[in-house]
Amino acid sequence: MKQCPGAGVAHGVDGIAVSNTTLARDGLKDAQAQETGGLSGRPVFRRSTIMLARVYRATGGKIPLIGIGGIDSAAAALEKIEAGATLLQLYTGLIYDGPGLIGEIKSHLAREVRRAGQSNLAGLRGRKAEHWAGLPL
């Protein structure tokens, strides 16, 4: 993906929602591999996080990105932030784990910010983007 940090800003893009669902079933070996329609939740985490990191890298981190896809734990939320997300969208994880997931994520992110010696999440944003962006889809 070509780096174009000014393109989105020049066109008035306020943010980008990255990778909600997929039709791909690559690598799935369970019942979901035979289903039709959009796939969401844990099975899309890896692919969606790679795409998030690639968009982060391509935009130079200059456009807010919404990390979506497979956020079903506090650790998954942190991975999305570290791959480049400014915001997170929860759906499938929230359906299965309930509203307590939000508190778990908030507490975990606050601990990680303190552990990293940062004052806010911005210090964690994108710190693993190169790793994620370099992985094959």
Domains of the chain by residue range: 37-133
Q: What is the mean pLDDT of residues 35-49?
A: 80
123, pLDDT greater than 90: yes
Q: Does residue 3 register a pLDDT over 60?
A: no
Q: What is the pTM of this model?
A: 0.85
Residues 76-86 pLDDT 10s: 999 999 999 99
Residue 27 reports pLDDT greater than 70:
no
Element (H or E) spanning 45, and its range? helix 45-58
CA dist 48 and 25 (Å) reads: 13
Phi-psi category of residue 81: left, alpha or beta, with phi > 0 → left and psi -120 to 50 → alpha: alpha
- Across the chain, mean pLDDT equals 87
Per-residue confidence (pLDDT) for residue 52, from 0 to 100: 97
**Distance separating alpha carbons of residues 101 and 30, to the nearest angstrom:** 25
The helix-helix angle for 45-58 and 74-83 (nearest 10°) equals: 30
